[in-house]
Structure 1
Amino acid sequence: MKFLLSVTFALLLGLTTFAQNRPAFPALKAKEDYAKAEPLFQQLTEWITETDLDKQKDERLLSNGFLMEWLTGSPTVTVQMGDPLLKVFDKNPQLLMVYMANYASYCISKQSSADKAAAAKAGLLSVIRVYQKGLAVVKNKALEKVIAANDDNKLDEYIDKNFKKQL
């Protein structure tokens, strides 16, 4: 899993070098840097969730790079994932960052990473919101099942049944 995150981070970081107007993101070197950057992390999480996937692509790429850097280095938050959950993002890898950022943002707001199922739910609800806009996404059976569970008010049970082992 760390390998997947590292590869994604490297790709995003490589792409950011081509940007002309790079926003000034803080350096993340010490443990304290991550804590200081939490408000920015949460702002960017809200921005990537609310901004349509087909808009401001360069800014999204840069924001995703910073979010991934924060996620891979954070001493307090670890996003739990595994193959069943990754299938939700098979055809829409751009939604993976929405999930991970919202998962982590939930942990930041609760000041705890203990309730992994609730953090996963926060991430999935954000993904559903973005996916249902229908912009720059491909239909995905696994994600449609998550949406159906949410529509039936059974998302908690769905998470327990399908993702509990990896959380």
Structure 2
Amino acid sequence: MKKHILLLALGLLTCSGAALAQTYSVPTDYSFQAPADYARYDNQVIETVKWLEVTPQGKEAAQRQAANRFLLQWMTGTPAVSVQLQDYVGKLVGKEPDMLMLFMAGWSRYQLQHPDEKDAVVLNTEGLKTVLKGYQAGGFKRNKQLETLVPLQEKGTLSDWVKGQLKG
């Protein structure tokens, strides 16, 4: 019986990314005028970030572009989030605007879910985790720098690496 439950749970976990990709739809007809307008879309922001990080780059390009546009408009005006980009991020993601968006999206999602968090190491680490998840989902050009960060994330030492980048 335990084997069946374990297999069922494993099956659900492996299918969850595909299910999210099939059920996600980009918010439309949104308007950001007042702070309350931004807060109204908090759940959609979180859902959008989840979709972006599990959907391989190059798949569903029109939907990805609309999702990026929605997030960018939300990020630039929301009082709930303030993303700060460091030089190392630009060097790490290179000429991949979708990776830069993943970084900002991951930071935003985490700060939205943890409104009292102000620690730059934590917020940068969360942004990088989202970049790594998106990179591992596929579709991006090979990035040796990101590939060296995957084992750090797996070992739980990614934040130590980030801390070193922020000092430099």
Deviation at 1:36, TM superposition (A): 1.1
What TM-score results when the alignment is normalised by the length of structure 2?
0.76
**Residue 76 and residue 164 in structure 1: after superposition, are their counterparts in 2 closer, same or farther (change >3 A)?**
farther
Give, in whole Å, the separation in 2 of the partners of 1:103 and 1:140: 21
Find out whether 1:90 has 2:94 as its counterpart: yes
Percent identity, please.
29
User: Unpaired segments of 5 or more residues in structure 2?
Assistant: 1-25
**Residue 25 and residue 89 in structure 1: after superposition, are their counterparts in 2 closer, same or farther (change >3 A)?**
farther
1:91·1:140 contact (CA, 8 Å) conserved in 2?
no
Find out whether 1:41 has 2:45 as its counterpart: yes
Match of 1:57 among 44, 48, 61: 61
Deviation at 1:163, TM superposition (A): 2.6
**Residue 111 and residue 92 in structure 1: after superposition, are their counterparts in 2 closer, same or farther (change >3 A)?**
same
**Residue 164 and residue 79 in structure 1: after superposition, are their counterparts in 2 closer, same or farther (change >3 A)?**
farther
User: Unpaired segments of 5 or more residues in structure 1?
Assistant: 1-21
Secondary structure of 1:80's counterpart equals coil
Give the counterpart letter for 1:78 in structure 2. Answer: S
Task: Tell me the equivalent position of 1:145.
Answer: 148
Correspondence list, 1:50-129, <5 A: 50-129=54-133
Find runs of 4+ consecutive structure 1 residues off by over 3 angstroms.
Answer: none
What TM-score results when the alignment is normalised by the length of structure 1?
0.76
Task: Tell me the equivalent position of 1:155.
Answer: 158
Q: RMSD of the TM alignment (CA)?
A: 1.9
2:54·2:137 contact (CA, 8 Å) conserved in 1?
no
Task: Tell me the equivalent position of 2:16.
Answer: none
2:53·2:137 contact (CA, 8 Å) conserved in 1?
no
**Residue 152 and residue 91 in structure 1: after superposition, are their counterparts in 2 closer, same or farther (change >3 A)?**
farther
Q: Please say which structure displays the higher CA radius of gyration.
A: 2
Give, in whole Å, the separation in 1 of the partners of 2:89 and 2:27: 31
2:57·2:138 contact (CA, 8 Å) conserved in 1?
no
